[in-house]
Structure 1
Amino acid sequence: MSVLAEEANWPRDVLDRDYGARASVTPEVFEAAMRDYRSRSEEMRDHATHLDVVYDEESGQTIDIYGTSGEARPVFVFIHGGYWRMLSKHDSAFMADMLATNGIATAVVDYRLAPEASLDEIVREVRAAISFLWKNGRAFGIDPARIHVGGSSAGGHLTGAVLSGGWHDEAGVPENVIKGALPISGLFQLAPISRSFVQDWIKLDDAAVKRLSPAANLPRVGCPIVVAYADGEPDGFRRQSTAYDQMWREAGFASELMEIPGRNHFDVLLDLASEDTVLSQALLRLIKG
C-alpha cells in the first residue's frame, strides 16, 4: 500500500486539517484570490479567439480558446480547481496573455460540477476535451501534436486523470496525446480524500477511488511533467505532490518537483499571469522544450 493510500486510515480530523485548503488561509486572503481569478480572467476575454466551443455533445460542456493566430500553435489546456464543486472557465484564463506572447495558445475547460455530476463523469468530460482538441484542434489554430495540460488542486487531479493510462483507445486518441503537464497542488491518490470532509459531496466508494486515482493508474507512455506546490500548502497537498513526482520518476518518466516560495494554495496559481515567475518559466520550458 502506498504512503498516500495509508492516509485513508488516519483520523478524520487529521485528514480534514491536512486537506482543508480554505482553512489554510484567512477568509480575506481566499476571497481576494477568487476576485483576482475572475477579474484577471475577464480581462483576457476580449483577446479570446474562440469562445464557448462545445467539446462534448453529451454534456454540452465548452472550452474557450485564446492566443491562436495564423500557423497552428502549441496549446496549454487549463483545468480549473475548486474541489470539483466550484469555479469555472470564467475564473481560469489569466495565463492566456502571457502564453500568447510566447506563441502558445490557451484552452480553458469547463466541466459539470459535483455533486450534480459524479467524479467519473467529470473525468470523462475533461478527457473528452483533450480528445476534441486532438481531433479538431487545427480548425481552431491549435497543433494537436503539441497539447500540454495543467490544473490546480482538483484541476491537478484532473490533469493526472488525463495523464493516466487506460482511456485512450475508447476516446480514439494516441497514448502520447499529452506532451507535457503542470499539475499544481494536485490530488493524485483519492483514498484519504474519500475519508475527509470532501466525501460529503464527492461520494467515492473504494472502486471509484482505485479507478480515478492517478497514482493508481500510471500510464505506459509518460511525458515530462512539472509537479508544483506552494510552500504555504496544507500538509496533505504537499505529500500528494511529493509522492506523485516520485512515482512518475520511478516509472521512468521525467518529472521536476517545485516548491513555490511565498505562496499559498490559492495565490500560487496567479503566478502564471506573469512571465517573470519561476512557475511560468517552468511552464514555458516544458512547452518550448
Structure 2
Amino acid sequence: MIDWDDAFDNSGYVPGAAAMLERWTAQARAVRVEAGELDIAYGPGARNRLDLFRPEGTVRGLAVFVHGGYWHMLDKNVWSHFATGCLPRGWALAVPGYTLAPEMRIGEIVREIAAAVSFAAELVPGPVRLIGHSAGGHLVSRMACEGGPVPGRLERVVSVSGIHDLRPLLGTRMNEILQLDTAEAEAESPALRRPRDGLDVRFWCGACERPELLRQTRLISEAWAAPNTFEPDHDHFTIIEGLGDPGSPLTEAFLGAPD
C-alpha cells in the first residue's frame, strides 16, 4: 500500500527547506519595500489581493505567478522577488493571493485565481502568461483547461512541480484540511480534463523531486501531449528559484530567450 502522506512530503525530503522559505521571505520583503503596487483588491475576500510590479519603459505583457503551499499554506508576500526575473525582461509581474483551505474548497480557489488573472489582465496590456509552483502549478494548469474563464490574451502556461491528479490526496491526512471528495478530486484534476486548443502549455519539474511529483508531471504531459522538462540537480524548492533570474532556463521557458 502506498503511503500517500510520505509521497507528498516535499519539505521532509529537502534539507534546509525551512531556511529557504525564510530567505525567500526576506528577499521578497526587500523588493516590496522598493517597488510595486501592493494589495490591489480583485474580489471581496480578505485574501483576494494581488501585488503588481511593472517594468520600466514599454511593457511586453503580463506574467502571473501563483504560489503553492498545498492550497492551505503561505501567501503572496513570500514571492515578490520573482519580479527580479521578469521585470528586466520587460514583463510586468502580478502575484495574487487566494483564500486558503479549509475556509475555501479547491474548486472555489480555482475560481478565485481565474478572477485574479482576469482582473490583472485589465491592468496591463499585451499577452498574458501564467506560471505556478506546486499547488500553484495545479491552479495555473486549471486555467489552461478547456472552457476555463481566462482572458483570450492567454498565450502560455508553465506548471512547475504541479499536482495534476488530485485523487491520491484523498488518502492523505492533509485531506482533513482540503476536504476533497471523489467528485471534486476528479473534476479539479487537470490531468483528467482536456487542454484549451492552441494554448502553449509546458510542464517543468526538478529531476530530484519526490517520485509522485515526477509521476504527476509525466502523467499530464502525456495526457495533454505537452512538453516536459526535468531540470537536473533541482528539488521541489530549488526548482522555482530560477524564476528570480532573468537568464535561467525556467525564465527562458516562460518568457522566451532574451533579445
- State how 1:118-129 maps to structure 2 within 5 Å: 118-129=105-116
Once the two structures are overlaid, the 10-residue window that deviates more, 15-24 or 96-105, is: 15-24
Structure with greater proportional helix content: 1
* 1:36-115 equivalence runs, <5 A: 36-57=23-44, 61-115=48-102
Instruction: Please state whether the residue corresponding to 1:34 is helix, strand or coil.
Output: helix
One-letter amino acid of the counterpart of residue 239, structure 2: V
Conserved? CA contact 1:47–1:66, under 8 Å: no
Other structure's SS at 1:78 match: strand
Q: How far has the Cα of 1:76 moved from its partner?
A: 1.1
User: Counterparts in 2 of 1:10-21, with a 5 A limit?
Assistant: 11-13=1-3, 15-21=4-10
Alpha-carbon offset, residue 149 of structure 1: 0.4
**Equivalent residue letter for 2:37:** H
| Counterparts of residues 1-289 of structure 1 (less than 5 Å) | 11-13=1-3, 15-26=4-15, 29-57=16-44, 61-134=48-121, 136-137=122-123, 142-143=124-125, 145-168=126-149, 173-174=150-151, 176-249=152-225, 255-285=226-256
For 1:81, give the aligned amino acid. Answer: G
Q: Whole-Å Cα distance in 1 between the matches of residues 28 and 45 of structure 2?
A: 27
**For the residues of structure 2 that align with 1:167 and 1:47, how far apart are their CA atoms?**
35
Cα-Cα RMSD: 2.0
State whether residues 134 and 162 of structure 2, in contact with CA within 8 Å, keep that contact through their aligned partners in structure 1. Answer: yes
Does the 8 Å contact 1:98/1:275 carry over to 2?
yes
How many aligned residue pairs are there?
259
Residue 187 of structure 1 deviates from its aligned partner by 0.5
Q: Distance in 1 between matches of 2:208 and 2:136?
A: 18
Change (3 A) 1:73 1:284: closer
The offset of 1:18, in angstroms, is: 1.9
Q: CA deviation at 1:49?
A: 3.5
**Match of 1:156, as an amino acid?**
G
Q: Name the SS of the counterpart of 1:94 in structure 2.
A: helix
Contact 2:84–2:246 (CA<8 Å) still a contact in 1? no
Q: Offset of 1:70 from its aligned partner?
A: 5.0
**Structure 2 unpaired stretches of 5+:** none
Counterpart residue type for residue 46 of structure 1: V
Q: In structure 1, what is the Cα distance between the partners aligned to 2:43 and 2:160?
A: 25
CA offsets per residue over residues 29-66 of structure 1, 9 Å max, x none?
11122112211211211343321111113566111001
In structure 1, stretches of 5+ residues that fail to align are: 1-10, 250-254
Instruction: Say if 1:67 and 1:97, in contact at 8 Å, map to a contact too.
Output: no
What letter is aligned with 2:7?
D
Question: Sequence identity, in percent?
Answer: 29
Q: In the TM superposition, what whole-angstrom CA distance separates every residue of 1:233-252 from its partner, at most 9, and x where no partner exists?
A: 11110011111111221xxx
Deviates more, 1:64-73 or 1:32-41: 64-73
Please give the alpha-carbon distance, in whole angstroms, between the structure 2 residues aligned to 1:226 and 1:108.
20
TM-score, normalised to structure 1's length? 0.83
* Paired amino acid for 1:233: E
Counterpart contact for 1:67–1:99, Cα < 8 Å: no
Q: Distance in 2 between matches of 1:256 and 1:167?
A: 21
1:263 Cα deviation after fit: 1.5
Cα separation, 2, equivalents of 1:237 and 1:18:
8
Structure 1, residues 128-178: CA drift from partner, whole Å, max 9, x if none?
1112123x22xxxx12x411101110010111111122342xxxx55x442
Secondary structure of residue in 2 paired with 1:95 = helix
The CA distance in 1 between the partners of 2:45 and 2:100, in whole Å, is 15
Q: Deviations over 1:172-200 (max 9, x none)?
A: x55x4421011100011111122223212
- Kept after mapping to 1: 8 A contact 2:137/2:159: yes
Q: Partner of 1:7 in structure 2?
A: none
TM-score (ref. length: structure 2): 0.92
Is residue 130–residue 140 contact of structure 2 (8 Å, CA) maintained in 1? yes
Native 8 Å contact 2:47 2:97 kept in 1: no
